Structure formats: C-alpha cells, structure tokens
Amino acid sequence: MPVRDWTVGVEIANIVDVREGDADSNDAMTMIVVPTGVHYGTDVMTLATLSFEGVVSGGRLNLGLYLSPGKFVVSSDNGKLLLLNFSTPSSAPSVSTLYDDAGGAPITAMAHAVARNEIVFSVGNKVHTMPSAGGAATERADTEAIADAGSRLFDIDYSSQGWLLIIENANETKSTAIASEDWSSILTDNLPDALSASSPLQVNYTEETNTWIVARQDGEVVTTDDLDTWRPEAGSPAVALWTVAGENGNISYSADAVSWTTYQVPAGTNVGHRSISYGLDASNNGVWMTSRWWDSSGEAGMTSDITAGVGGWTTSNTPITSGIDCAFGNGVWIMVGKSKTARSADFGATWQTVTSTGGENMNTNALNGSVATDGAGNWVIIVDDGSQYKVYKSTDNGATWSASLSWGWLAAAQHAFKEVSYGNGVWILATSDNKIRTCTDAGLATNSWVTAATLSGQPRDVQYGALGIWMAVGKDKKCWVSADNGANWSEQSTLHHAQSPGVYAGVHAVNVAYYDGSWIAVMDTATLNNVFKSDDNGFTWAAIANTGEKLSGIAYSSVLPNS
C-alpha cells in the first residue's frame, strides 16, 4: 500500500529513507527519499508543501543523510553520493556529486561523523570516509577482511571513542565490529554476546545523551554510554603490547611503555631480528612475526603470545637467505630478504618465492629493504641492486609483482636505508638519499610518485600515525614530521636523553611505531637508553628503556596500516 501524506494527499510509494533537518533559511523541513528522487517540504508534522525532484543519474537512490542547514546527502545503488543544497523547504535543491565510484558498486551504508566533519560510507565491501564538504575518499576497512567473502557494511555510527559497524555476511547473518577512532584496529572477537544475539539491525550514537544504541531483530535494544565497555578486555584475545626486537635475539615487550620485559629468542644464539610485525592467524587471533637475520638459514620466528617467552615461539621456514622486513595484510604475509622475496597465503605455514614480471627476485643487495600494504590487497616493496633503488608493486594481494619506480643512488648513500609505509590513502618512501617520495592510491595504478621533500639527513623509517600526521626518524637520531599527509615535512626535536645528549654520538633512530597518540622509536645502541617515546608528535621525547641490545624493529599489537 502506498503511503499518503495526511495533509497534502500526495501518494508516495517505495519510501527508502526519511530525513528531517532545516533549510538554509533555518525553516524546518523533511526530505523523503524514494528510488527515483526525493520529496521535500516543511516539517514532517505538517508537510504543508511537498515537491518532487528527480536526482538520480543512472541508478536508484537508497539512503539519505542530513549534514547541516540546507545540506542533505543521498546515495545510489550505482556508487554515487549526491549533495542536495536547499535554500527553502519548498524550493528545488541544487545538486552536485560528492563521490562517484568508478566501478558503480552500490552504496550500502552511510553515516555522518559530526565531530570529525566526515561522511562514512561503504561501496561494495569497502568502507570509506571523506570530508563532509567533499574531497578525496579514504578507504578505511574491507568487510571481507573483517568478516568473510561476500560480506558488506549494513550500518555504522561514530563517537569520539570509535566506530561501531554492523556487517551483513554472505549468508545474510549479521555481526558487529568495533574500530578505533583512527581505524588503526578493528575488533571482532570477544565482543559482548548481547551485540550479536538475535541479529543486530541498526546502530545509533546519540550525542545529546552520549549513548550508543544497538537494535536487534528480536526487538531488544542494547545501550551503553561508554564504547569501551563493549570492547574486549585486555588480554582477550591478546594483551595490547608494544614490542621491540634487535640483535642477539632481543625481544622486549611492554603493556604501558614504562615497564619492559626482555628475553632472548632463540635462546643462546646471536640471531638478529631485523624487524617485527603484527598480523592475524586463520582464526583472527594476533600473531607476531620476526624476519630473522643470518646467512645460513631462512627461518622466521612466530608467536601468538609474546609474553610466553622463548617457549612461545615457533619457526617458519622461508626460501629467503636472510629476512629483512615483513608485513601482514588481507590474510597474507610478505617477507623481503637479502636474496629473495617470499609470500605466505596460509598465515606463515608455507612460503613461496615471488618475482616481478621482469623476472627479478626483488632481493636487496645492500642489506636493507622494506614492504608495506594498504590492507586491501595492494602492496609496495622497495629494495636495491647495489646501484639503484627499485620499487615494485602488487595489486593482487602479493601474487604477482611489477616494477613501479627506480632511480640511482650515490656512494654517499651507500648504506641505502629505505622504508615504505602506507596510511590515509598515501604510500610514502623514505630513502637514505634524504628524499621523501609519495604516491596516492590512485597514483599507484600509474606509478605516479612525487618527490615531496628533501630532508636534512638520512631517514631510516617512516610511519603513519593518525589525522594526517606522518613521522620519519633516522641518522643521528633525527625526527621529521608531516602534518598534511606527507605533502610537507619539518624537522622536530632530536631523540636523545635531555641531560646527556653528547653520549649519544653515532647512535641512530632506526624504527618508529604509532598507536593512540603515542610514538615510540628505537635506537641502534646496546649501552644507552634505546627506546624513546613522544606524546606530542615528536616535539619532545623521553628515554623510557634500555633493553641491552641494539634494536632494529618496533611494533604495536595492531594490524597496520594505521589510518
């Protein structure tokens, strides 16, 4: 039966959404969305006037959203976000396109994160955010990586504590997930049973009462005024930890970045851990992976409980000679070595050598290399052959690779330190020729790399934090920060002990990690404090620990990339 307006008597069939707000004139108005357009008029209690505007372009409308006075957004089943700007409740809106998905995939969920001034929406199985006023969309999550193949976002909302997602699986069952405010972690395990009992259908955060509300299919409503009460407790499924690794088997971990526990693995050896990374196993539980450095073995180290000490580690045999860097994303591990690059699609159980379309092993002859992923199936590796930096990319989750960029390096940069990281829609290369090079999501397809900055020294690591902030650290303990997503860089405070900077001569910052407002960097010294922390984006640093060995890697128990 069509719905009839009780005042005007206009038939409105197939209503898909109703949104109440106000026009530019601050007069109350209502927008009623139907697949072929929108009805609009005065407040829903009277609907004294009612008009119709067809705003569909090649698709059917499916969702509506109120942004601010006069501004509403409607979405379509062919991947469009359309901005409707009303001057009065009864006048036709101006219409502009905020987003147009190249593949025409349907938009299945949409919300307004008021405090962040962002729109969050899903296209197919991808979750994006974009500025409310328009601009580039940033991919934040992949529902198929969170849940299973064929899943899609069903509903979502936001508070300053994070994001709560309702995901519809391929079999039409619903599940929930909680993402951190900066999307650096997405939790699915050990959430309260009440969130998934029956079937969650709708989530709303009400700012006026600071209340989260989840409505279920059985008619029950679940509420909380603190999203943290729905997050799993520390230690379930894994304790949230900072972990550092380095020479002579050094592994050190801390839950608070203050008190550190150190042990050696393998025990009694001089194995060096060149990097440490955090990923997931087949059950979505956390796993730590180290790329181990020695000349006679291709072993990597894995543990699901880094607090268990030496006994918690197992060996993963790789075809490479010496591991230099590794990363996890979208169910795949990639490890760069001195002789080869290897891929594991079964969570580290077995590894296969991968080569580029040109036949190169993508190995690094200068003993340093780096790998990063966007978590959505795209990967970038940077290595060198002794005379050139070489950048390779994969757009099929590491199965095949092709050359993306190369350039020569000078003898002055003979150590050829080089790092690649991804965050907030940008790939960034930091290399020991003092350069920062960037490439956007779209630019990766056309190998469009841009030299963004020439630094005042040699960077040895680069990492994304949150809210468009990047950090690079490097030789002589230098630190550089970008506050505009990698476009511009400035030198920050040098990392050293404030009371005795001179004793740190010849010491370098070699790796940095970020989580929840804190940066932690590690040094290649065994006799001085080698773990430093900054809570103000590198403006000041504090020495917090000495683990007793030269360090080369640090990670937090959150799957990269931060975003």
Residues 6+ apart with CB under 8 A from 481: 469, 470, 471, 472, 489, 490, 492, 537, 538
The domains located in the chain, with CATH, are: 3-229 (2.130.10.10), 242-556 (2.130.10.10)
Counting Cβ atoms within 10 Å, is residue 334 exposed (0-12), middle (13-18) or buried (19+)?
A: buried
> What are the DSSP E strand ranges found in 345-458?
352-354, 370-373, 379-384, 388-394, 402-408, 418-423, 426-431, 435-440, 450-454
Task: Report CA 344 to chain centroid distance, whole Å.
Answer: 21
With CA atoms as reference, report the closest residue to 550 among 529, 534, 536: 529
pLDDT at site 501: 59
Task: In whole angstroms, give the CA distance from residue 269 to residue 339.
Answer: 22
Residue 501 in 3-state DSSP?
A: helix
With CA atoms as reference, report the closest residue to 277 among 327, 238, 318, 315: 327
Looking up tokens 């087949």 gives: 282
Residue pair 74/32 in contact (Cβ under 8 Å)? The answer is: no
Report, as ranges of residue numbers, the positions in the chain whose pLDDT lies below 70: 1-10, 190, 232-240, 294-297, 366, 410-416, 496-502, 563
